[in-house]
Amino acid sequence: MIFGVGIDLVDVERIGKALKKQGPRFITRLAHPEDLKFAPSTATQKAQYWAARFAAKEAFAKALGTGIGKDVSFKEVGVAKQKNGKPDLRYSTRLHTFLKKQKITRTHISITHTETTAAAVVILETGK
Ligand SMILES: CC(C)(COP(=O)(O)OP(=O)(O)OC[C@H]1O[C@@H](n2cnc3c(N)ncnc32)[C@H](O)[C@@H]1OP(=O)(O)O)[C@@H](O)C(=O)NCCC(=O)NCCS
């Protein structure tokens, strides 16, 4: 059964500016360890990549219905990549336990980005 669906749209330039202004601090505040595994090194790619991660985290928080805050922090949700490139969500141990309590058994994510905008959609499911 569908528990929730979340969508988010992020301005790549806004993230590019934050990366420029805050440097590594921005990534430290935002990143789950899984996000770091695939992070690119050039400034343009970085802005798109982190904008997409930002969108993924917000879309997840909306699907859960909590928003980003007490129950979900940016760092606790990460995006892994399967061999074929398909993204998958990963969680901190604490958040994993929280999801179990909500009886959430499956999560789905899709990401897209252009030079200017990144977006993500997340669907959470309960049941077998
Ligand atoms: C829900 C949340 C994720 C929305 O974030 P946002 O990016 O500010 O706003 P968006 O335009 O993407 O989304 C707004 C919509 O989210 C939906 N929304 C609001 N609360 C929600 C919740 N608890 N669960 C699901 N959806 C929610 C509403 O439909 C809202 O639209 P409306 O204002 O027309 O009713 C917000 O609670 C949040 O956690 N923001 C964190 C922002 C933050 O910490 N930013 C740091 C910047 S570095």
Cross-strand pairs, 90: 78
The amino acid that residue 100 corresponds to is: K
Q: What is the pLDDT of residues 43-58, one digit of tens each?
A: 889 999 999 999 999 9
Catalytic residue among 101, 108, 113, 128: 113
Give the number of the atom of ligand 1 that is nearest the alpha carbon of residue 8: 12
Whether 62 is catalytic is: yes
Radius of gyration of the chain (CA): 14
pTM over 0.85? The answer is: yes
Whether 128 is catalytic is: no
Mean pLDDT per block of 10 residues along the chain (128 residues) reads 98 96 93 96 93 98 96 96 96 96 97 97 95
Give the span between the Cα atoms of 124 and 54, in whole angstroms.
18
Element (H, E) at 98: helix 93-101
Does 25 contact ligand 1 (Cβ within 6 A)?
no
